[in-house]
Structures are given as C-alpha cells and as structure tokens.
C-alpha cells in the first residue's frame, strides 16, 4: 500500500476527525515510504532522520493528549509542530537524493505541512 493510499484513507474518512489516528497513519506511511528509498551512503542518514521525525509527530501527539497541565500540553504540541517541520525538511532531502520518489515524497510533504498548520492553530488558541 502506498503512502498516498494510506493518507487518502484517513483524510477521506467520513468518521469523526481524529488527529491521533491521522498522525499514526502518517507515521506508518513514512515507514512504508522509507523502505522504498535506495540505501547508500547519502540516503542512510536521511532515512533515519526522516523516520525519527515523521513517527515522532504521532507519538508526541499521544503524549500531548494525556498532558498533565495546559503548559505541558502546549509544550508537547509545539514539539509536534517542530517535528512536522523537520519531517518536511527531510522529505525535501529525499526528493534530492532519490528523485524517482519525488511524487510520493510531495504527498507526504503536504500532509506534514497540514500538520504544521494544525499544530500552529492549536497553539494560537
């Protein structure tokens, strides 16, 4: 299953909007995508960083959901935003290092951008 299919399943879902599920599906999509990236001396560090940042978004969001205070919640949401932005960076690096994966990387980049905007909006409230 491609990243595009997984993301579409979540974003086209008619059930209640669930950010925890959406970030989880995104992390899964990142893992699936990372397995497609050719492994060499250039891409290995990029893949590691991409997987770390892309999967951290959902993990940290789960922590935010169980935050002990408003301050803790805001801190964790700001970390989600940071990891979303970092994921976008590493996806750009993949687009340079593995040009045959640009299409799929752009889809993932757009989802990471949406997370950045969502977390920014949450922080403004």
CATH number at residue 101: 1.20.1440.60
Per-residue confidence of the chain (125 residues) as pLDDT tens digits? 454 554 554 455 444 469 999 999 999 999 999 999 999 999 999 999 999 999 999 999 999 999 999 999 999 999 999 999 999 999 999 999 999 999 999 999 999 999 999 999 999 98
Residue 6 lies in a domain: no
Residue 8 lies in a domain: no
Residue 3 lies in a domain: no
Residue 2 lies in a domain: no
- The per-residue pLDDT for 46 is 98
Residue 78 lies in a domain: yes
Are the C-beta atoms of residues 42 and 36 closer than 8 Å to each other? no
* Structure token pair of residue 44: 């290995």
Residue 4 lies in a domain: no
Biggest distance spanned by C-alpha atoms of the chain: 45
- The per-residue pLDDT for 2 is 54
- d(CA 53, CA 96) in angstroms, rounded, equals 18
First and final CA of the chain: distance in angstroms?
36
Burial tier of 120 (Cβ tally within 10 Å: 0-12, 13-18, 19+): middle
**How many structural domains compose the chain?**
1
- pTM for this prediction: 0.86
Structural domain range at position 39? 20-124
Chain centre distance of CA 122: 17
Residue 24 lies in a domain: yes
Residue 105 lies in a domain: yes
């Amino acid at each position: 299953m491609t990243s595009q299919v997984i993301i579409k399943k979540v974003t086209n879902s008619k059930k209640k909007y669930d950010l925890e599920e959406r970030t989880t599906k995104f992390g899964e999509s990142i893992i699936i995508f990372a397995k497609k990236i050719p492994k060499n001396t250039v891409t290995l560090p990029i893949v590691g960083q991409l997987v770390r940042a892309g999967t951290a978004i959902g993990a940290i969001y789960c922590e935010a959901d169980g935050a002990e205070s408003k301050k803790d919640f805001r801190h964790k949401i700001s970390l989600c935003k940071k990891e979303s932005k970092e994921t976008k960076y590493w996806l750009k690096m993949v687009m340079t290092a593995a040009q045959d994966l640009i299409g799929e990387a752009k889809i993932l980049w757009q989802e990471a951008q949406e997370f950045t905007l969502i977390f920014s909006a949450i922080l403004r409230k």
